[in-house]
Amino acid sequence: GNEAASNFIHNIIDKDLETQKYGDKVHTRFPPEPNGYLHIGHAKSICLNFTTAEKYNGKCNLRYDDTNPVKEDTEYVDSIEEDVRWLGFQWDERLWASDYFDEMYECAIILIKKGKAYVCDLNSEQIREYRGTLKEPGRESPYRGRSIEENLKFFDEMKQGNFSDGEKVLRAKIDMASPNMNMRDPVIYRIAHAEHHNTGNKWCIYPMYDFAHPIEDAIEGITHSICTLEFEDHRPLYDWVLREVGKWPAPPQQIEFARLNLTNTVMSKRYLKAMVDEGTVDGWDDPRMPTIAGIRRRGYTPEAVRDFCERIGVSKANSTVDIGLLEHCVREDLKQKVENRNVVENPIKIIITNYPEDVTEEMEIENNREVPEMGNRKVPFSRELYVDGDDFMEIPVKKYFRLFPGNEVRFKGAYFITCDEVIKNDDGSIKELLCTYDPETKSGSGFEGRKVKGTIHWVDARTAVKIKIRNYDYLMIEDENGQQAMNPESLVETVAYAEPSIAEADPGERFQFFRKGYYIADEKLTTSDEKVFNKIVGLKSSWKK
């Protein structure tokens, strides 16, 4: 594969190994919140965490960040695990942040006892107001001076359930004048009378992310806690929590990298969930979705996704990657792997008037021109055929070398064919094309007599198998105001004719439909009676290096 782009995270780890900051240990984690399906952005984080652990013979945990007391959705948990495995990774341990609630509570007590946390009665609006703005320091809460005893008592009462949601919070006592807003006495525990999927009704106080996350990492012995750039401003708080709690001699190092953004799609669980709930798309695994489940159903391969993640590399600067690069990686992977099939859309009937009526020839056609070891297959050829609607023009435009009246082309793997006459229906539409073939030009005969400029593919009419093709376009396009908007033509379904061997395609099997693109038999919609193919990606790249 491709040499990985220079990785500043690995440089940091190399240094830490040199100084033996964590001895020889490298331990990462992927920490999803089980509140939706993973998307391609998460794939970047997964690849980074798992391949980093692999590179250093370390470990990588799958940790559910389930500190919010919302109902567990096993559908999300199952999908996350399926997606990580599909990408080709196996976690060392599968852990739940909520299993650490007791220890997190103890950490809070440590902070209170050190005078580093206090119970505050301001409501959330007041807290925000007291926090001030970037231009001015905040004001101290009137409850900031509470004694340690008072704080311990109130925090215990919070835990006992003596207060309602929002009535009190526990705040870290840091610096209300800090230029970093996250350090202005952040809330670290809140009251929420809600059942938790794991701990039930044991708790009615729950830790905030910025308090919980460093402790989760430290408990697990994570050495390098890799996260996205928006947490850079939270790092001082991450370090503060671990330093002040003081239980861990070598606390984990948070390292931020730029999140993945892609053109022509959206990458937010919340937005994707809304589309699923509103029925704008056909579920989380709709092949247009940037979810890993959608990408998988669309026919992308894990190898292509991993190659993509490697090529984009990790950086400290936010940017938007052209979705064409992902498609390029898919094409690069599939072109060596899948067999060709002849398939025509918007079929036009061909009658070869000088070809005998009762003869069917079996033409030998290579399965993959680039990989001769993939062998040949037999494709029936007879007097009546179909060609693709795009391969005929009654009045050709300039430089059109395919079929038009009077022109001769090569029928791939068969003969040279000349179009003699267009037969029309009463309504003016094309009924069929009367053509002739030249028996001397048979493919493989070594015929050198004359050259033709166009080569097209074909399907034998008598044995053709009707299939459905779901042509996918981008989920999002730019509207006339330059705004991202839902693409109204993101799915166009067509009926096509395929060579007979397509009848054996298994759900999930991929092909190149010769000259058209890469396709996969849809896992959900393909039955033994009807083959439904998703277009994975076209053959031509719009992506420029």
The answer to whether residue 33 forms part of the interface with ligand ATP (CB under 6 A) is yes
Other CB atoms within 10 A of residue 252 CB: 24
Instruction: Output the 3-class SS for 150-196.
Output: HHHHHHHHHHHCCCCCCCCEEEECCCCCCCCHHHCCCEEEEECCCCE
* CB 343 within 8 Å of CB 389: no
44 is in an annotated binding site: yes
Look at residue 187 and give the partner it binds from ligand ATP, Mg ion, none, a contact being a CB closer than 5 to 8 Å depending on partner kind. none
Active-site residue flag, 269: yes
The catalytic position among 146, 269, 377, 516 is 269
Min separation Cβ 79 and ligand ATP, Å:
12
- Rounded distance, CA 538 to CA 513, Å? 10
The answer to whether residue 517 forms part of the interface with ligand ATP (CB under 6 A) is no
**Given the rule CB under 6 A, which of 29-37, 167-175, 235-243, 310-318 is the region that contacts ligand ATP?**
29-37
The two tokens of residue 160 are 């006992």
Which one of residues 8, 9, 12, 33 is an interface residue with Mg ion (CB under 5 A)? Answer: 33
Length of the chain: 545
- Rounded distance, CA 3 to CA 5, Å? 6
225 is in an annotated binding site: no
The catalytic position among 21, 144, 190, 259 is 259
Q: Which amino acid is at 93?
A: E
45 is in an annotated binding site: yes
- 227 or 379: whose CB is closer to ligand ATP? 227
Q: Interaction with Mg ion in 210-239: which residues (CB under 5 A)?
A: none
- Rounded distance, CA 188 to CA 208, Å? 5
Which one of residues 42, 288, 402, 410 is an interface residue with ligand ATP (CB under 6 A)? Answer: 42
The catalytic position among 21, 33, 150, 311 is 33
Min separation Cβ 226 and ligand ATP, Å:
7
* CB 28 within 8 Å of CB 55: no
- 36 or 186: whose CB is closer to ligand ATP? 36
- Rounded distance, CA 385 to CA 351, Å? 7
Look at residue 45 and give the partner it binds from Mg ion, ligand ATP, none, a contact being a CB closer than 5 to 8 Å depending on partner kind. ligand ATP
Look at residue 299 and give the partner it binds from Mg ion, ligand ATP, none, a contact being a CB closer than 5 to 8 Å depending on partner kind. none
Q: Interaction with ligand ATP in 242-281: which residues (CB under 6 A)?
A: 259-260, 267-270
42 is in an annotated binding site: yes
Min separation Cβ 97 and ligand ATP, Å:
11
Active-site residue flag, 424: no
The answer to whether residue 347 forms part of the interface with ligand ATP (CB under 6 A) is no
As a 3-state breakdown, the chain gives helix, strand, coil percent values, each rounded to 5, of: 30, 25, 45
Look at residue 260 and give the partner it binds from ligand ATP, Mg ion, none, a contact being a CB closer than 5 to 8 Å depending on partner kind. ligand ATP
Look at residue 227 and give the partner it binds from ligand ATP, Mg ion, none, a contact being a CB closer than 5 to 8 Å depending on partner kind. ligand ATP
The answer to whether residue 31 forms part of the interface with ligand ATP (CB under 6 A) is yes
3-state secondary structure of 43: helix
Sheet hosting strand 187-191, strand order edge to edge: 117-120, 169-172, 187-191, 205-207
The answer to whether residue 318 forms part of the interface with ligand ATP (CB under 6 A) is no
- The DSSP-derived string for 476-507 is EEE-TTS-EEE-TTSEEEEEEEE-GGGGGPPT
Phi, psi of 18, rounded to the nearest 5 degrees: -60, -45
Min separation Cβ 198 and ligand ATP, Å:
17
- For CA atoms 217, 220, 221, 227, the dihedral sign is negative
Min separation Cβ 33 and Mg ion, Å:
4
- 76 or 308: whose CB is closer to Mg ion? 76
Number of residues that bind Mg ion (CB under 5 A): 1
The two tokens of residue 211 are 């308090």
269 is in an annotated binding site: yes
The two tokens of residue 50 are 């798992």
**Given the rule CB under 5 A, which of 28-36, 199-207, 327-335, 452-460 is the region that contacts Mg ion?**
28-36
Q: Interaction with ligand ATP in 218-247: which residues (CB under 6 A)?
A: 227-228
Residues 213-239: b if buried by 16+ CB within 10 A, e if exposed = bbbbbbbbebbbbbbeeebeebbbbbe
Look at residue 42 and give the partner it binds from ligand ATP, Mg ion, none, a contact being a CB closer than 5 to 8 Å depending on partner kind. ligand ATP
43 is in an annotated binding site: yes
- 40 or 459: whose CB is closer to ligand ATP? 40
Active-site residue flag, 113: no
Min separation Cβ 269 and Mg ion, Å:
7
- 233 or 440: whose CB is closer to Mg ion? 233
Sheet hosting strand 416-424, strand order edge to edge: 455-456, 408-411, 416-424, 430-438, 348-352, 384-387, 459-460
- Rounded distance, CA 37 to CA 303, Å? 20
33 is in an annotated binding site: yes
- 260 or 351: whose CB is closer to ligand ATP? 260
Other CB atoms within 10 A of residue 240 CB: 21
Min separation Cβ 210 and Mg ion, Å:
13
- H-assigned helices in 256-291: 269-278
Binding residues for ATP, as ranges, are 33-35, 39-45, 228, 259-260, 267-269
Q: Provide the binding-site residues for ligand ATP, judged by CB under 6 A.
A: 31-33, 41-42, 44-45, 227-228, 259-260, 267-270
Q: What positions carry a catalytic annotation? A: 33, 259, 269
Binding residues for L-glutamine, as ranges, are 65, 209
